[in-house]
A and B are shown apart, each in its own frame.
Chain A
Amino acid sequence: KAGVTQTPRYLIKTRGQQVTLSCSPISGHRSVSWYQQTPGQGLQFLFEYFSETQRNKGNFPGRFSGRQFSNSRSEMNVSTLELGDSALYLCASSLHGDEPLHFGNGTRLTVT
C-alpha cells in the first residue's frame, strides 16, 4: 500500500502570496489531519477532515484553510503569507480519525 503522499516537497514563496499544499492519504483512509511543525512551536494541529467535512480545527488564523475531496485527498491553503508561516507542513491520515496517524514526508514552506 502506498503511504501518505504530499506535494510539493519544497516551496519558496514571498510575503503576501498564497500557497496550496496537497495530500493524498493512504488508500481507504478517510481522515486527514494537517500539522504545522516549527523549531519553536513543535507540532501544532491545524485541522482535520473526514468525509469532506472539517471535523476539528486548531488555533490558527482564518488565513489557513483546507478542504477534502470525495476521494479523501486534501488540500490546505494559506493566504497572505507571512514570514512566520515558514515551516514544515505535515499531513497525516487514518481510517476514521481515532487510530494512530500515518504521516507524509511533509512540505517545507519557506516565506521570504
Chain B
Amino acid sequence: GQQVMQIPQYQHVQEGEDFTTYCNSSTTLSNIQWYKQRPGGHPVFLIQLVKSGEVKKQKRLTFQFGEAKKNSSLHITATQTTDVGTYFCAGPRGATNKLIFGTGTLLAVQP
C-alpha cells in the first residue's frame, strides 16, 4: 500500500489565493521529488530536494524538505488557473530505490 501520504486530497481555491500541499513518508527519504500532472496529461517533473531542511523556489512555487527527511511541502503563492492539476511527491524506496509516489493533491483554481 501507499507509504507516502499527501494532504489534502483535494483543494479548491480562488485565483490569487495561496495553496499548500504536504507530503509525509513513513520512512526517511534520501531525496524527494515533486511532479505535476495536468488534467488528461502525464506527470511532469518539477524539482528534486536532497538535503535536510532544503528550500527551493521556482517562481511562485516554494518547495521544502523536512529536517528529518520524512516530510515535504509545496507552497504556491497567488495561484493562477495554469496551476490546476494534481501535485505528487515521490521518494525512492528499497535497496534499489524504486520511486514511490504519494497519493497526490488535486488543485482546482476558480478564476
Task: Please count the residue pairs between chain A and chain B whose beta carbons lie under 8 angstroms apart in the complex.
Answer: 46
Tell me whether A43 is interfacial, beta carbon within 8 Å.
yes
Q: Nearest B residue to A58 by beta-carbon distance?
A: B98
Q: Nearest A residue to B100 by beta-carbon distance?
A: A45
B interface: dominant SS: strand
Tell me whether A102 and B94 are in contact in the complex, defined as CB-CB below 8 angstroms, given that A33-B99, A43-B104 are known contacts: no
Cβ–Cβ contact A43 & B43, under 8 A: yes
CB < 8 Å: which of B45, B92, B97 contacts A102? Answer: B45
Cβ–Cβ contact B43 & A55, under 8 A: no
Chain A: minimal CB distance from B5 (Å): 10
Q: Which residues of B contact A (CB under 8 A)?
A: 2, 33, 35, 41-45, 48, 88, 92, 94, 96-104
Closest 9 CB pairs of A and B: A56-B98, A43-B101, A100-B45, A103-B42, A103-B43, A42-B103, A56-B96, A105-B42, A55-B96
